[in-house]
Amino acid sequence: MSRQQEHINEFTTLLLLHEKLIYKVCSIYTNNAEDSKDLFQEIVLQVWIAYPKFKQQSKVSTWLYRIALNTAISYKRKSGKVNIIPMPDFLNDHFDVSASDQEEYKILQKLIGELPPLEKALILLYLEDNSYQEIADIMGITVTNVGTRLNRIKDKLKQQAHTLINQ
C-alpha cells in the first residue's frame, strides 16, 4: 500500500471515529439540513487540509473540535445569516429535566441559542463536561480565560433568564 493510500485510510478512519463530533458542531451552527451538509463538507475539507500538519500533540478530539468550531464560526460570518439557533437535541440527554423545570429549560435553551458564536461554543463545550483545560485547548485560550468567560456567560444567562421568568 502506498503512503498516499495509508494517509487516505487513516484520514477516513479518523472521520468515521469522530463524525458525531462534527455533526454536533454542524447542528449548533446551522438550522437546516442543507446548511448543515454544506458546513459538514467545509469542516471535512479544513480537516483534510490540516491533517498532514497534525503532530499528535493534543487529543484528536481537541484538534478536531478546534477546526470544526473555527470553520463553523467562519461559515456563519461568511453566510451573513444571523439567526437564532435552538440548542441541539443531543444536549437534551445531558439534563434530567422534570416536568416542573420544562419552562426554565426551554428559556435556557433559547438563551444559549441566542449567544454569539464564541460564547455558544464555550458554554456547549462546558455542558458536554469538557474540562477547562480541554476547552482552553480547543478554543486556543488560557484556562483562566475559560473560567472568566464561562462565569460571565453564566451570569449573563442567569440575568436574562431571571428577566424572562419574572416578566
Task: Report the pLDDT value the prediction gives residue 60, as an integer from 0 to 100.
Answer: 86
Cell of 21: 463530533
Domains along the chain with CATH numbers: 1-83 (1.10.1740.10), 86-167 (1.10.10.10)
Which residues, 6+ apart, have CB-to-CB distance to 111 below 8 Å? 157, 160, 161, 164
Residue 61, pLDDT score: 85
Q: Would you state the cell numbers that stand for residue 26, as one nine-digit string?
A: 454542524
Q: DSSP letter string over 65-118?
A: HHHHHHHHHHHHHHH------PPPGGGGGG----GGGHHHHHHHHHHHHHS-HH
Per-run averaged pLDDT (10 residues), the chain, 167 residues? 81 88 84 87 92 83 88 80 45 46 70 86 85 89 94 90 75
Output the pLDDT for position 166: 73
pTM over 0.85, yes/no: no
Q: What's residue 97's pLDDT?
A: 45
